[in-house]
Amino acid sequence: MTSIPLDYETLRMVWWLLLGVLLIGFAIMDGFDLGVATLLPAVARTDAERRLVLNVIGPVWEGNQVWLILGGGAIFAAFPPLYAVSFSGFYLAMFLILIALILRPVGFKFRSKIQHPTWRASWDWALFVGGAVPALVFGVAMGNVLVGAPFHFDDSLRPIYTGNLLQLLMPFPVLCGLVSVAMLAMHGAGMLAMKVDGPVAARARRYGAIAAIATAVLFALAGIWLAKGVLGFAVHGGLDPNGPSNPLIKSVQQGAGLWLANYSLRPWTWLFPLLGIAGALASAAAFKAGRAGMAFLASSAAVAGIILTEGFAVFPFLLPSSTQPGASLTAFDASSSQLTLFIMLLATALFLPIVLAYTAWVYRVLRGKVGDGDVGQNPNAY
């Protein structure tokens, strides 16, 4: 282990940051797909308009979903206890997301196979569910990170989850879910406004502005609620950043306002919630001014700011335990071995630039607007 050039604490910090990068990448790249699908019933009134909307995201959604796979893979390899608790404890929620996400490829492939209005309308609603439900559940999951999940470990360090699906739907996590839906609807509207013209673009700008304002308001309300009405967590002692991965050797205290402690210790982190609110308001202003590109960039900044706000608020926690706070998982006691983290870091340094380069090339090839002629004349159009 002495031959590894990075110490254990540094590797854990790097992988905590990489996990955040992957979550932001997923929210920005696949987030606009979910947002476009969520807006489908509102922005498209005719079959031709709906096909136009679907062909904005149809060629790219599969590639964008790679960010979700990368995020899940990073959790599995870098933080196995987090994977074990979240993917088993939140199994029903994950299954709900999986069903909704399965509707997306099926809807794209089967919608235009039959021209009957009822057939196509049914798949349009399936695509809406495939966008709105994951957006909501992902936000609810992030809210449950803040309130803590009901789990503990036995003497063999096996995680035991004691909650159920209904317990995930507490008021504060549901508010976080609404923040997520509004945020991704704003983001999807920005992509739509950039890629199409005519009535669909006009509606996308209108609904995008509404979603952007809703994002700023709901995010601010969630922040106030978090400061005043949600019990936070703080490590009281026993956590060794270079120590073994054993979540039971530390002590954790729980109390009101503790999630804001990191912002007091590191005042520069206030830039992230400000970025979330300012980005959403700037996106609304850009929608009103008809500047779709600026609206999309501003919404991307808002997405990054909102995710970073939660990440730095809960650091070093990954998933607190509401029933046994001392069993909470942190970046420093729920990671893989030092050697595993180092080897994975080398693989990431090799393959992540390839993913980024390929993504950039794809979007360069697919640059420009999608028009009625493209949909009607292209036999591969959805």
Question: What local confidence, expressed as pLDDT, does residue 376 receive?
Answer: 63
Mean pLDDT of 19-27: 94
Instruction: List phi, psi (to 5°) of 160.
Output: -125, 115
Q: Please give the distance of CA 336 from its chain centroid, rounded to a whole number.
A: 23
Say how far apart CA 55 and CA 345 lie, in whole Å: 36
Confidence of residue 136 (pLDDT cuts 50, 70, 90): very high
**Beta-strand runs (E) in 4-120:** none
Question: What local confidence, expressed as pLDDT, does residue 291 receive?
Answer: 94
Say how far apart CA 291 and CA 76 lie, in whole Å: 40
Question: What local confidence, expressed as pLDDT, does residue 379 receive?
Answer: 62
What percentage of residues in the chain have a pLDDT greater than 90?
65
Q: Are 89 and 151 in contact (CB under 8 A)?
A: yes
Confidence of residue 272 (pLDDT cuts 50, 70, 90): very high
Question: What local confidence, expressed as pLDDT, does residue 32 receive?
Answer: 93
**Beta-strand runs (E) in the chain:** 151-153, 159-161, 231-237, 251-256, 317-319, 329-330
Mean pLDDT of 251-268: 90
Mean pLDDT of 223-249: 91
Question: What local confidence, expressed as pLDDT, does residue 181 receive?
Answer: 97
Mean pLDDT of 210-238: 94
Q: Each residue of 193-211: b (16+ CB within 10 Å) or e?
A: bbbbeeebbebbbbbbbbb
What pLDDT, in 10s, does the model give residues 31-63? 999 999 999 999 999 988 998 999 899 888 888
End-to-end CA separation in angstroms for the chain = 53
Q: Is the pLDDT of residue 370 over 90?
A: no
Average pLDDT, the chain: 91
Q: Is the pLDDT of residue 168 over 90?
A: no
Confidence of residue 161 (pLDDT cuts 50, 70, 90): confident
What pLDDT, in 10s, does the model give residues 174-222? 999 999 999 999 999 999 999 998 999 999 999 999 999 999 999 999 9
Question: What local confidence, expressed as pLDDT, does residue 217 receive?
Answer: 98
Mean pLDDT of 236-260: 90
pTM over 0.75: yes
Instruction: List phi, psi (to 5°) of 234.
Output: -150, 140
Q: Each residue of 84-100: b (16+ CB within 10 Å) or e?
A: bbbeebbeebbebbeeb
What pLDDT, in 10s, does the model give residues 292-349? 999 999 999 999 999 999 999 999 999 999 999 999 999 999 999 999 999 999 999 9
Mean pLDDT of 259-274: 92
Confidence of residue 377 (pLDDT cuts 50, 70, 90): low
